[in-house]
Structure 1
């Protein structure tokens, strides 16, 4: 069995390769070739949780699970909010194949899924970006959006202005785009063609009144039924897509809270990104519509990324072989 650490994951799993892997597994999920159960979430103290996410990739012949801790309070402490591991098994024999660093996979694959959604839903001419948050997901989403649209300008917002300025300075030296700090969410998003929300918020930080017609939004921060990043008016006025319908109707507060308020109906979700990839789900209807992708993160995404990493690690002689 191979042990593959975070440094090796980052070396192997480029954003470009991960976007392709995510498109494949999302399409497979819509066709029943990738299978998963709802994640089990064990509440800990405060808002902290431990999650178990099992899945099975039929075509690849592998199964496994991600075990992950989510500690929102780690923001600003020097520790990541998401930490864990992905276990990978041969589905024909049950032989353990690998344990792969889950933090690095989560950072890359989450943004890659948003990129897949953005390729399908954002207007082709989109060139301005807003990123809400300055953590690991903010960095990876900036990279992912630059991969799929010709972004010329990006604004970043944080509850701590100094973090936004530091983020803008660091990312400006890395990417060929004008990246600046915004003093408010409204300032960050008012002219944005694409908005990525990657915050630890439990209450809305983004309001529909601030979003311009034709914008596309990737909302990935809130992952529990009672938490959300978006206000009701925004969700009600947007064309909503999800990574997995079953997950959204159990876990997505951004959908469930407006539903409980009567602002939307159960059929407000247009469909899954996998169905959109396969042509079974309609996409953007006009250049003025606001499109919204609500991503919760799926076990099959982690397994697909881990299997790609495992194959590359074997070919490149990376990882450490261990015996159980």
Structure 2
């Protein structure tokens, strides 16, 4: 059995390669071509989760599972918040053939999924990016979004001003990268906003966004903690990675629904449907669009299989 460690994942799974893999996986998912159950999440204690995500890329094709822990306190220790493995099985014999470092894979494919959504939903001229959060996903989202839009500026806000400033200083980009003193300052002129925090209560208010903004809501992966307020959910054209997942585990959507402000029909569809052209994405220049990312095992399996089937000595390139 082969093991692909963190360093190999980081070296070989480039964003130009990962983005189209994730795009194709989400189209297949929304077409019903993949097989998966809703993931199971155990809350071990506040800020400490364990998830099990089984799935298959179709019939007679690669299948496997992701076992992942999410420990939000790890960031302060200099460790990845997501720790675990993706186990791949041979589609012909059923044998386990590969184990992939899930922390690094998750970091890259999550940002790649947001880039896919941004490319589909943000205005073509979107050029100003705001990142809310200063952890690992903040850095990966900057790299991924830069693949789909020509950025003119990047603003970073974090609950720790020192960490936000440090991330801005070490980020290599083709445009200015500056820390912001507040969420309002970060998003005031933003065309694209990515929320990548572990906040339990909303950090982003809908009133702070200008018309036409696209928002990737990424940080909360289960029912409970929320990153954006009800106003933003209500005002937006709301797109999910998985309709079933968001209706059961999408915290921001569920909070607005429980307040009686929206119904299930406010969730207009999945990003895979937008990509396949079966539902429209952005409908006007002034519309606020939201992509709610919970993360999906088909993204993990598709990217892990690409790593497994490509020899180590050959860097994965587009």
TM-score class normalised by the smaller sequence: over 0.9
Change (3 A) 1:165 1:315: closer
In the alignment, which residue of structure 2 is the partner of 1:321?
A: none
In the alignment, which residue of structure 2 is the partner of 1:293?
A: 291
Deviation of residue 316 (structure 1)? 3.9
In the alignment, which residue of structure 1 is the partner of 2:231?
A: 233
> In the TM superposition, what are the counterparts of 1:184-223 in structure 2 within 5 Å?
184-223=182-221
Deviations 1:74-115 (A, max 9, x none): 222212111111000012311111000001110000010000
More displaced 10-residue stretch of structure 1: 99-108 or 39-48: 39-48
In the alignment, which residue of structure 1 is the partner of 2:88?
A: 88
User: TM-score, normalising length from structure 2?
Assistant: 0.97
Q: Which runs of 4+ in 1 moved over 3 A?
A: 313-318
Deviation of residue 72 (structure 1)? 1.4
In the alignment, which residue of structure 2 is the partner of 1:322?
A: none
> In the TM superposition, what are the counterparts of 1:171-320 in structure 2 within 5 Å?
171=171, 174-313=172-311, 316=314
Change (3 A) 1:7 1:315: closer
User: TM-score, normalising length from structure 1?
Assistant: 0.95
The answer to whether structure 1 residue 55 and structure 2 residue 55 are counterparts is yes
Deviation of residue 59 (structure 1)? 6.6
2:12–2:315: 8 Å Cα contact kept in structure 1?
no
Q: How many residue pairs are counted as aligned between the two chains? A: 316
More displaced 10-residue stretch of structure 1: 188-197 or 306-315: 306-315
Could you say what secondary structure the match of 1:114 adopts? helix
The answer to whether structure 1 residue 107 and structure 2 residue 101 are counterparts is no
Change (3 A) 1:33 1:77: same
In the alignment, which residue of structure 2 is the partner of 1:163?
A: 163
In the alignment, which residue of structure 2 is the partner of 1:131?
A: 131
1:12–1:312: 8 Å Cα contact kept in structure 2?
no
Q: In the aligned structure 1, how far is the partner of 2:293 from the partner of 2:175?
A: 26
Deviation of residue 175 (structure 1)? 1.4
Q: In the aligned structure 1, how far is the partner of 2:279 from the partner of 2:305?
A: 28
Structure 1 unaligned regions, length at least 5: 319-324
Could you say what secondary structure the match of 1:263 adopts? coil
Q: In the aligned structure 2, how far is the partner of 1:60 from the partner of 1:73?
A: 40
Q: In the aligned structure 2, how far is the partner of 1:288 from the partner of 1:37?
A: 36
Q: In the aligned structure 1, how far is the partner of 2:295 from the partner of 2:60?
A: 20
In the alignment, which residue of structure 1 is the partner of 2:147?
A: 147
Deviations 1:188-237 (A, max 9, x none): 00110000000010110000010110000001001121211000001100
Deviation of residue 260 (structure 1)? 0.4
Deviation of residue 19 (structure 1)? 0.3
Q: What is the CA RMSD across the aligned residues, in angstroms?
A: 1.4
1:153–1:178: 8 Å Cα contact kept in structure 2?
yes
